[in-house]
Chains A and B, each alone.
Chain A
Amino acid sequence: MVSEVDDVYGSPTAEELLQAVREWLERELVAEGTGRQRFDARVAANVLAIVERELAHGDRHRRRHAERLASLGITDDRTLAALIRSGDADHRLAEIAATVGETVADRLAVDDPGYPT
């Protein structure tokens, strides 16, 4: 499948280049390699797969995360972390947990979609 036309970089896209390298790693080194090299190649292929998923979903995940923080009246993670730490949010920890949990689910979908939940 050929992706949408990119007037600046043309084809293949960044996603397609990553995919090509990952497929080569899986074909040549993960399937055929041995020992340490095979392990390192599996890790490398996983890393590329994370980047592919982040490119595909990252914009949407970032937007949704900002919306969730805004619903709590917060602008960024650091401020939220400090608020929780201060104890001033102790009466609404369940609400905060449920809200940040949605972002954690998004991140997990990028980092490791097969993680047993």
Chain B
Amino acid sequence: MSDRSQLSAWLAQHLDARNIDKIERLSGGASRETYHFVADGRPLVVQLQRPGSERSLPDEAELVRLVARHAVPVAPMVASGTDGTGAGFLITELVPGETIARRILRDQRYEMARSLLAGQLGAALGVLHAIDSDEADHLQALDQLVAARSYLDELDIASPVFELALRWLAAHRPPPSGLGIVHGDFRLGNFVIDEGGLVAVLDWELAHLGDPMEDLGWLCSKAWRFGSRAPVAGVGEYDQLYRAYERESGVAVDSGVVLWWRVLATLKWGTMCVGQARVHLDGLTRSHELAAIGRRVSQTEHDLLTELEGRW
């Protein structure tokens, strides 16, 4: 549904709205298109599955409804399903606030938000991970270390540093901390923030079942500090995150386990950087931005070696 007037007509019919306006395309993810629009004065967001995408938007909608019932802050769901062509769609309310990491980390107006955020993120994760995973049995359970290894092989990456990290990860793997709903991309950029802090957690596309500590490791990895010094999302300290998490989940956090997941997160981000550059190099989407991401691999290799220094 690339045509705006077609999209507008479809939205009007589907939402039983008289007036659809201010349609604005947001991002061009690989698997979906996202648009802001206003339906009879109500600001909404629609995500449309691209043809051939394996990720199911109706499944994601089901998950978002589930976590909302358990009081995880999300954008309220308005509608979901499949359109006439069989492609999935998902419509939510537009939650007012800021999502851009750079602004959240630097703007004066978010100063109080920054001081509260690590605790709020810990609480949100604690609530999410306390949900009985049987309630989300439509989600896949993937071994993240196996997945990282196969993605590296699929891209045919010959990196001594990535291999060192994989060797370390295999030798130091902690026993599972439990099985829970893992958001899968829990970091700045996927949060709506206002002056009071966390308002909503967005983008549940990569959610899966797995070790809940994966989300904590991802959140604390250096890539998602966006150049800031503070370890938790670039805004807070581990203690703030862990204490709030433990309060909500009843599960004690082992910082050594989070470190293991942080190392895996860094490795995974490194391979994703290679993957992004390949999208450009293979001609799928020609983009100097994607090409440039390929040169961020050295950052992740540096981070891996720093994290593992003295741990061999």
A63 within 8 Å of B (CB atoms): no
Q: Is B158 touching A78 in the complex (CB atoms < 8 A)?
A: yes
| A interface: dominant SS | helix
Q: Is A111 touching B163 in the complex (CB atoms < 8 A)?
A: no
- Which residues of B lie under 8 Å from residue A96 when comparing CB positions? 160, 164
Given contacts A78-B158, A111-B295, A116-B229, contact A93 B164 (CB under 8 A): yes
A40 to B301, CA, bound (A): 25
A104 to B159, CA, bound (A): 11
B167 within 8 Å of A (CB atoms): yes
Number of A-B contacts (CB under 8 A): 77
B292 within 8 Å of A (CB atoms): yes
Interface residues as binary, A67-101 with B (CB distance below 8 Å gives 1, 0 otherwise): 00000000001101110110100100110110011
Q: Is B292 touching A97 in the complex (CB atoms < 8 A)?
A: no
- Which residues of A lie under 8 Å from residue B288 when comparing CB positions? 40, 43-44, 47
A44 to B302, CA, bound (A): 24
B308 within 8 Å of A (CB atoms): yes
Q: Which of B166, B168, B227, B295 makes the CB contact (< 8 A) with A85?
A: B166
- Which residues of B lie under 8 Å from residue A43 when comparing CB positions? 288-289, 292
Report B145 CB to chain A, min CB distance, Å: 14
Report A86 CB to chain B, min CB distance, Å: 9
- Which residues of B lie under 8 Å from residue A115 when comparing CB positions? 299, 302
Interface residues in A, total, Cβ within 8 A: 31
Given contacts A50-B295, A84-B167, A108-B298, contact A100 B160 (CB under 8 A): yes
- Which residues of A lie under 8 Å from residue B306 when comparing CB positions? 117
A81 to B165, CA, bound (A): 11
Q: Is A81 touching B159 in the complex (CB atoms < 8 A)?
A: yes
Interface residues as binary, B117-132 with A (CB distance below 8 Å gives 1, 0 otherwise): 0000000000000000
Q: Is B308 touching A97 in the complex (CB atoms < 8 A)?
A: yes
A101 to B305, CA, bound (A): 7
- Which residues of B lie under 8 Å from residue A85 when comparing CB positions? 163, 166-167
Q: Which of B227, B229, B295, B312 makes the CB contact (< 8 A) with A97?
A: B312
Report A89 CB to chain B, min CB distance, Å: 8
Report A21 CB to chain B, min CB distance, Å: 13
Report A37 CB to chain B, min CB distance, Å: 13
Q: Which of B158, B229, B301, B312 makes the CB contact (< 8 A) with A94?
A: B312
A111 to B308, CA, bound (A): 22
A16 within 8 Å of B (CB atoms): no
- Which residues of A lie under 8 Å from residue B253 when comparing CB positions? none
- Which residues of A lie under 8 Å from residue B164 when comparing CB positions? 84, 93, 96-97, 100
A81 to B160, CA, bound (A): 4
B23 within 8 Å of A (CB atoms): no
B141 within 8 Å of A (CB atoms): no
A19 within 8 Å of B (CB atoms): no
- Which residues of A lie under 8 Å from residue B159 when comparing CB positions? 77, 81
B66 within 8 Å of A (CB atoms): no
A81 to B168, CA, bound (A): 14
Give me the 8 closest cross-chain CB pairs, A-B, nearest first: A78-B158, A94-B312, A107-B298, A84-B163, A111-B295, A80-B160, A81-B158, A111-B298
Which A residues lie at the B interface, using CB under 8 A?
Answer: 40, 43-44, 46-47, 50, 77-78, 80-82, 84-85, 87, 90, 93-94, 96-97, 100-101, 104-105, 107-108, 110-112, 115-117
